[in-house]
Amino acid sequence: MCELPKRRFLSSLNPLRLVLAVLALAVVAAGWLLPELVSAIPIGAGLLTLVAAVLLPAVKEIEFGLSPGFKLSPALKDREAELRSVFELQRGDMEYCAHLLCPDPETARRLLQAAWSQAAAAWRGPLTPQLRVYTLCVLIRLIRKDEIWRGSGRGPLPEGGLLASLALEERIVVVLHEFANLTFAEIAGLTDRTTAEVLSSWAAAHALTRGPSLDGKPALEERPSPDEDLK
Amino acid sequence: MNRELRQRLLDEADVRSAGYPADLAGAVGAGMVRVRRKFMWASVTAVAVALALTVAFVAWRIAVIPPPPPTLESIAVTSVSQSLRPAATIPLTATGRYSDGSSRRLRDGVEWASSNPAVATVDSAGVVTAVAAGTAELTATLTGVSGQLVLVVQAGGAKLTGVHVSPETATVDQGGILQLLAEGSYSDGSRGKLKGPVQWTSSNPGIVAVDGTGIAAAVAPGTATITASQAGLRGTSVITVPPAPKVVTALSVNPAQLTLKEGQTAQLEAVATYSDGSSATVGNVTWETSPPGSTVAEVDATGLVTARGIGSTAIVATLPGAGGQLLTGRADVAVVPTVKSIKVSPAGPLQPEPGTTVQLTAVVSYSDGSRGSVVEWASSRPLVASVDSSGLVTAVKEGDVEITATADGVTGNPVTILVRTSPD
């Protein structure tokens, strides 16, 4: 469903880390040769060096996408600024999608913020264009959960939008295809459905959105009730 | 989707997003707080794992690999004196210092050498003997590590400072002899033979006698001090003569006479009499009947006798003596028949008057078919009627009484005596 970039272990291997790792292991091996409790000093120092100078920086880089270096706070600030910059560029589209998907504007705002927060926490490695798709995926997941939590998978809320008369899955397909410019295959992968199911939802939704009515009103409004759509 | 609807949707979304703007900075900040938390947790876990691995490695290493034995790093050679007179001997001491900081005296495997045997020689035990005036370096070597001591032999004679007798203590059996040796200790720290005559004396010649050459003879049990004297200096040796070990001179069996009834058992014990006149029970004797295989009685290895048939036999205990001869002790055992029944007559009831007597008779039947009359008589109420050892019952006053005859735990038929005064 929401796929994160794969961990790139090889990219974290640099000469400095390799040298430090070899040195740390050599110290551990040297400690092995020392008698009794004296051996604890080099073994402990070697293992701590391995953890602090090799393992943790690699984890920081691979898992959290933070810049290499020993200090955490500057790396976190850099990463936060980078994420904000990227999200800012995507902000307009993301807000449109959120408000089109959620009938309730307050819920749309809250879920979009949650999606940004989760994406910022989970995204590993460099910030690629895939981050937008991932954030959308998280947003879709949150909207689905919210719908389940509200006890209804479809139906307009008091302040429902124009798309509120569509079933949630149809709404998702319409918004992701028309406004997020995702292909049906991408939508299928993102929503964990088959392409045929996505196309089916698209067809059902398209019947209501394909053209204006004679009196100038969108066909969407002619739909009496979303419940009848299931019959 | 038609263009008009699309534009309406965009307009609608635009209005809503303007009315409900999302807090991007806050959202990303919250995400970074999670990242920080996750990283700190990962760091703490990694450090904890590293420390746990260290402890495990060290524990494993200590358990698996034994510490290497300490290596000898240096040898120090010492003696009581580094200046000797010719012909004097002193022992050298080699002390090794090891890599673990410990040090201990080296005894086995040390090779001793003298740089100048014309001045001093040293044997394999590290005892150096001064030969002539000069200087010699004495070296102790073990596993390639050496230590040296410079020894000076001076021509001038050293002064006698003490006399020593060896052995200092000894135990000699009565009749034995022991050669004592007197040595002198000198002002240069050496020890050696005494020059000139030595006077030997015993504190108690009745116990240990000593002659002019230092030969001590153990005469009688006790302790004596032998003294060697020269030039007013004395050395002593304490010699103990232990008492001669006592030996068993005779063996007896207790009890020596034993009468048993058929089926009865009795414990015999062997008593040894020793050369010093004492006696004690001994357990390491051999028990047997004499003649062997007697049907009258049998005895086990502990001296427990069991009567099997009527008759007489002997039980013999045997013990090897100090001189190799066998010592024996003997007990005579007689097995008598048991009482089967006792019949008292007249059977009664009898009714004598007070002051009169009645004679009762008891016939005892034994297990071998013989008969006898030896019984013990008893009255249930002697104040009414008494009975003497021959069975004569004397009526005393009115009343009822039972007279019984008993032998070996068997009681015969009771006779009822009704003492009544005649109405006349």
Low-confidence winner among A59-68, B120-129, B348-357 (lowest mean pLDDT): A59-68
DSSP bridge partners of B94: B77, B106
Tell me whether A66 touches chain B (CB under 8 Å). Answer: yes
In the predicted structure, residue B179 carries a pLDDT above the cut 60: yes
**Is B57 within 8 Å of A32 when comparing Cβ atoms?**
yes
Measured from the Cβ of residue B32, the count of other Cβ atoms closer than 10 Å reads 22
CB of B390 closer than 8 Å to CB of B374: no
In this complex, do A212 and B12 lie within 8 Å of one another by their Cβ atoms? no
Residue B121 and residue B192 in contact, taking contact as beta carbons nearer than 8 Å: no
**Average model confidence (pLDDT) for chain B?**
88
Each residue's pLDDT tens digit, B366-415: 888 888 888 999 998 888 889 998 889 998 888 899 999 998 888 988 99
Look at A102-106, B58-62, B163-167 and tell me which has the smallest mean pLDDT: B58-62
Six-digit token string for B126: 């590290």
Environment class of A41 (CB within 10 Å of its CB; exposed 0-12, middle 13-18, buried 19+): middle
Amino acid making up residue B299: V
Per-residue pLDDT at A40:
81
What local confidence, expressed as pLDDT, does residue B424 receive? 64
At A231, is the secondary structure helix, strand, or coil?
coil
Structure tokens at B231: 């030039």
Assess contact for B137 and B67: CB atoms under 8 A: no
Instruction: State whether B5 and A220 contact (CB < 8 Å).
Output: yes
Across the interface, of A72, A105, A121, the residue whose CB is closest to B16 is: A105
**pLDDT confidence of residue A218:** 46
User: Does residue A223 belong to the interface with chain B, where contact is any CB pair within 8 Å?
Assistant: no
Dihedral angle sign, alpha carbons of residues A9, A11, A12, A15: positive
Instruction: Please state, for a pLDDT cut of 90, what percent of chain B lies above it.
Output: 34
Return the residue matching tokens 């029970």: B281
Cα B154 versus chain centre, distance: 56
Q: Which secondary-structure segment (H or E) carries A4?
A: none
Q: What is the mean pLDDT of residues B176-205?
A: 86
Q: What is the dihedral of CA B250, B254, B260, B264, to 10 degrees?
A: -110
User: Residues of B with CB below 8 A from A121's CB?
Assistant: 31-32, 34-35, 38
| Top-confidence residue, B348 or B105 | B105
What is the tens place of the pLDDT at every residue in B126-141?
999 988 889 999 999 9
User: Which residue in A has a C-alpha nearest to residue B63's C-alpha?
Assistant: A36
Q: What is the pLDDT of residue B246?
A: 81
What's the per-residue H, E or C state across B185-213? EECCCCEEECCCCCEEEECCCCCEEECCC
Cβ–Cβ below 8 Å for B46 and A206: no
Cβ contacts of B398 within 8 Å, gap of 6 or more: B354, B384, B419, B420, B421
pLDDT for B147 beyond 70: yes
Choose from A153-162, B59-68, B331-340 the range with maximum mean pLDDT: B331-340
pLDDT at B190: 74
Q: How far is A131 from chain B (nearest CA, A)?
A: 13
Reported residue count of chain B is 424
Which residues 115-134 of chain A have a CB within 8 Å of chain B? 116-121
Q: How far is CA A127 from CA A82, A84, B41, in A?
A: 8, 11, 24
Q: What is the DSSP-derived secondary structure letter of residue B155?
A: S
Q: And the tokens for B183?
A: 């040595």
pLDDT value at B40 more than 90: no
| CB contacts, 8 Å: A53 with chain B | none
Q: What is the dihedral of CA B255, B258, B262, B266, to 10 degrees?
A: -10
Mean pLDDT for the stretch of residues B109-121? 92
> Does residue A38 sit at the B interface (CB-CB below 8 Å)?
no
Say if the Cβ atoms of B9 and A100 lie within 8 Å. Answer: yes
Which candidate, B151, B142, B145, places its Cα nearest to that of B117? B151
Task: Give the pLDDT confidence score for residue A162 in this predicted structure.
Answer: 65
Cα–Cα distance, B165 to B169 (Å, whole number): 9
Distance CA(A147)–CA(A162), nearest Å, equals 17
| DSSP H stretches of helix in chain A | 9-12, 15-33, 40-49, 56-62, 72-101, 105-122, 130-150, 168-178, 184-191, 195-209, 226-230
Q: Which whole number is the average pLDDT over B224-247? A: 90
Residues of chain A contacting residue B34, judged by C-beta atoms under 8 Å apart: 117, 120-121
pLDDT band at B175 (very low <50, low <70, confident <90, very high): confident
User: Under the phi-then-psi rule, with left for phi > 0, alpha for psi from -120 to 50, and beta for the rest, what region is B201?
Assistant: beta
pLDDT value at position A216?
45
Taking an 8 Å cut-off on Cβ atoms, the answer to whether A162 and B35 are in contact is no
Q: Which residues of chain A have pLDDT under 50?
A: 153-159, 212-219, 221-231
Contact across the interface for A43 and B54, Cβ inside 8 Å: yes
Our CA-based measurement puts residue B13 at a distance from the nearest CA of chain A, in whole angstroms, of 5
Mean predicted confidence (pLDDT) in B151-178: 86
The pLDDT of residue A68: 66
Does the pLDDT at position B43 exceed 50? yes
Token readout for B50 is: 């590293």
For residue B91, give the DSSP letter.
E
Q: How many CA atoms lie within 13 A of B306 on its CB side?
A: 9
Torsion of CA A92, A93, A99, A100, to 10 degrees: 150
- Residue A69 confidence (pLDDT): 66
**C-alpha to C-alpha distance for B88 and B194, rounded to whole angstroms:** 11
List CB contacts (< 8 A) between B2 and chain A: 209-212, 218-219
In A, which residues are within 8 Å of B19 by CB distance?
A: 105
A16 vs A57, A92, B337, CA distance in Å? 11, 42, 114
pLDDT at B42 over 50: yes
On chain A, the residues whose CB falls within 8 A of the CB of B21 are 109
Q: Are A42 and A31 contacting, i.e. CB atoms less than 8 angstroms apart?
A: yes
Mutate to test the interface with B, among A32, A38, A51, A78 (most CBs of B within 10 A): A51
**Are A14 and A203 contacting, i.e. CB atoms less than 8 angstroms apart?**
no
**3-class SS of residue A35:** coil
Exposed, middle or buried, B216 (CB in 10 Å: 0-12/13-18/19+)?
Answer: buried
pLDDT on residue A227 = 39
Are residues A37 and B58, on separate chains, in Cβ contact within 8 Å? yes
In this predicted model, what pLDDT tens digit does every residue of B271-309 receive, in sequence order?
998 888 888 888 888 999 888 888 888 988 888 999 888
Distance from CA of B45 to the nearest CA of A (A): 10
CA distance B169 to chain A (A): 48
> What's the distance, CA A182 to chain centroid?
15
Q: The pTM is what?
A: 0.45
Signed CA dihedral, A129, A133, A136, A137: sign only: negative
Does the distance separating the beta carbons of B20 and A117 come in below 8 Å?
Answer: no
Could you tell me if A83 lies within 8 Å of chain B, comparing CB atoms?
yes
Q: What pLDDT does B57 receive?
A: 80
Pairing mode of beta strands B199-202, B83-84: unpaired
Q: Which long-range contacts (CB under 8 A, 24 or more apart) does A222-231 make?
A: A223/A165, A225/A165, A226/A154, A226/A155, A226/A165, A226/A166, A226/A167, A229/A167, A229/A204, A230/A167
Tokens at residue A174, please? 């319409």
Inter-chain residue contact B35 with A59, CB threshold 8 Å: no
Residue B158 has pLDDT above 80, yes or no: no
